[in-house]
Amino acid sequence: MELNVLKDMFIQEYGEGEVEVYFSPGRVNLIGEHIDYNGGYVFPGALTIGIYGMVREREDNIIRLRSKNANGEIIVNLQEDIRYDEKDDWGNYPKGVIKKIKELGYNVNGLDILFYSNLPDGAGLSSSAAIEVLTAYILLHKNKGDDVDRVEIAKMCQEVENKFVGVNCGIMDQFAVALGRENNAILLDCASLYYEYVPFDLKDASLVIMNTNKRRELSESKYNERRAECDKALEIIRTHREVENLCQADVKDLDYIEDEVIKKRARHAITENIRVKDAVRVLREGDIEAFSKLLIESHKSLKDDYEVTGLHLDTIVEEALKVKGCLGARMTGAGFGGCAIAVVKNEVVDEFIKEVSKNYKEKTGIEAAFYVSKIGDGVKYMGRC
Ligand code: GLA
């Protein structure tokens, strides 16, 4: 988006004067789902859509938060204790980050901030990680300029989401949003936080994000349930041999687990982690068909073993795979609604969208949305205007 359009938005809200503009992307995970909290490898990338943050300094100790996408305003008094407040809704994410950065001893001064998001709402493309990382970057950029430590940002934002907002997520989303790089996916070892950039080149195919437009119901409680099931699996395996995390276990360790449900959950985690490594290898070799097949296997495992897909995600993936020229598809993110991705030959993308859209609507009654997606940069300062 153009800087002057963003500046005009800000001026409408807060009046004339100079404005600084920042951008934080959403993320898409290519493969490695429900793996971050099990200590394995994930393979996400940052999107080119996300949340813009327009900022102007104030003379007092107040941070005003407004969003172009929601009504109302949240006032944060920097001299008072900052607390989670249900009625502040989305504002709790930036509030938590402001509190954390103050606690770390950084200078935090009065600001007027306006957020504007072009991420689809509730679609599982990590708008919460985007607003957290954006707020952290704005405040730290004001202290250190471009010299901010992005891994530290990812870690602190995950902590805010876990402890201040109360959502028990892993590190993947915040990491992808903070460290994304244009045209590259990030291979991240969630146990050590070692990471590598891998060029994301699908040759004559495109990455299509398919939004089921089914809101993610019960996602939080089911998410926590899955985490607990994985902890249980790890506990059982550990009574037989020493492993640091579930992804370090082998498929043969599954024999130790008697409970069928716990065994299925563990099987997903162990096999998905292997698929990530395979997917990165074949992508590096330029074998897009093999990469896409692994996406299909990933979806199957998330459906049958991890049970986080549901009617809408399964239908959109099935319909996608019926179209000639679609090489692979899977759900992405936490599941229970939200988005799926597909690898589609460039020459059939338009037809693909038409077909899947029609058939998905017929089967579910819901209009899906499609975005031909590029992999973009992580959070950044766009300039002063
Ligand atoms: C959500 C969480 C992530 C990760 C994914 C599933 O997006 O925020 O930490 O666990 O689900 O891969």
Phi, psi of 267 (to 5 degrees): -60, -40
Query: CA–CA separation, 109 vs 131, rounded Å?
Result: 19
Residue of 83, 90, 45 lying closest to 65 (CA atoms): 90
Q: Which two tokens stand for residue 107?
A: 């200078």
pLDDT in tens, the chain (385 residues): 899 999 999 999 999 999 999 999 999 999 999 999 999 999 999 999 999 999 999 999 999 999 999 999 999 999 999 999 999 999 999 999 999 999 999 999 999 999 999 999 888 999 999 999 999 999 999 999 889 999 999 999 999 999 999 999 999 999 999 999 999 999 999 999 999 999 999 999 999 999 999 987 667 889 999 999 999 999 999 999 999 999 999 999 999 999 999 999 999 999 999 999 999 999 999 999 999 999 999 999 999 999 999 999 999 999 999 999 999 999 999 999 999 999 999 999 999 999 999 999 999 999 999 999 999 999 999 999 9
Burial of 242 (0-12, 13-18, 19+ CB in 10 A): exposed
Residue of the CA atom closest to atom 11 of ligand 1? 334
Which residues line ligand 1 at a C-beta cut-off of 6 Å?
Answer: 29, 33-34, 36-37, 169-170, 172-173, 333-334
Q: In what order do the strands lie in the sheet with 41-42?
A: 41-42, 184-189, 195-199
Which atom of ligand 1 is nearest to 172's Cα?
9
Which CA distances in Å does 164 have to 93, 97, 169? 8, 9, 12
SS3 content of the chain, % helix, strand, coil (to 5): 45, 25, 30
pLDDT of residue 99: 98
Alpha-carbon 311 to chain mean position: 22
Residue closest by Cα to atom 2 of ligand 1:
169
Among 3, 101, 89, 97, CA closest to 53: 3
Ligand 1 centre distance from Cα of residue 307 (Å): 15
**Which residues are CB-contacts of 119 (< 8 A; sequence separation ≥ 6)?**
26, 47, 49, 50, 51, 125, 127, 130
Pick from 31, 34, 225, 273 the residue to mutate for probing ligand 1's pocket: most ligand atoms within 8 Å of its CB. 34
Under a CB-based contact definition with an 8 Å cutoff, are residues 132 and 174 in contact? yes
**pLDDT for residue 218:** 62
Q: Give distance in angstroms: CA of 173 to centre of ligand 1.
A: 7
Q: Which atom of ligand 1 is nearest to the CA of 35?
A: 12
Atom of ligand 1 nearest to the CA of 170: 9
Ligand 1 centroid to 333 CA: how many Å? 6
- Cα 170 to ligand 1 centroid, rounded to whole Å: 6
Q: How many residues does the chain have?
A: 385
Amino acid at the residue 62: I
The number of beta carbons lying within 10 Å of the beta carbon of residue 30 is 28
Annotation says 173 is catalytic: yes
Looking at ligand 1, which atom is closest to the CA of residue 128?
Answer: 8
Ligand 1 centroid, distance to 204 Cα (angstroms): 29
> Which residue has the CA at smallest separation from atom 1 of ligand 1?
334
The C-alpha atoms of residue 200 and residue 375 are separated, in whole angstroms, by 8
| DSSP conformational letter for 38 | G
Residue 96 CA to ligand 1 centre (angstroms): 19
Instruction: Name the residue of 36, 298, 306 whose CB sits within 8 Å of the most ligand 1 atoms, as the mutation to test its pocket.
Output: 36
Residue of 35, 128, 173, 341 best suited for mutating to test ligand 1, as the one with most atoms within 8 Å of CB? 173
Of all atoms in ligand 1, which is nearest to the CA of residue 126? 7
Which of 169, 216, 298 to mutate to test ligand 1, by most ligand atoms within 8 A of the CB atom?
Answer: 169
Express each pLDDT in 240-280 by its tens digit.
999 999 999 999 999 999 999 999 999 999 999 999 999 99
Nearest-CA neighbor of 28 among 311, 327, 350, 295?
295
Distance CA 48, CA 33 (A): 21
Which residue's CA is minimally distant from atom 9 of ligand 1?
170
Residue 200 structure tokens: 């994301």
Q: 319 CA distance to ligand 1 centroid (A)?
A: 25
**CA 130 from chain center: how many Å?**
8
> Which residue minimizes the CA distance to atom 8 of ligand 1?
169
User: Residue 217: its pLDDT value, please?
Assistant: 67
Q: Cα–Cα distance between 290 and 87 in angstroms, integer?
A: 48
3-state secondary structure of 321: helix
Q: How far is CA 365 from CA 121, 201, 215, 323, in A?
A: 19, 34, 14, 20
Q: How far, in Å, from the CA of 18 to the mean position of ligand 1? A: 37
Tell me which of 173, 253, 305, 377 is the catalytic residue: 173
**CA of 37, closest atom in ligand 1:** 10
Q: Which runs of consecutive H residues, i.e. helices, occur in the chain?
A: 3-14, 92-103, 127-144, 150-159, 172-179, 219-238, 260-284, 288-304, 311-322, 349-364
Query: Which residues share a beta bridge with 187?
Result: 196
CA proximity to 371, closest of 20, 18, 123: 123
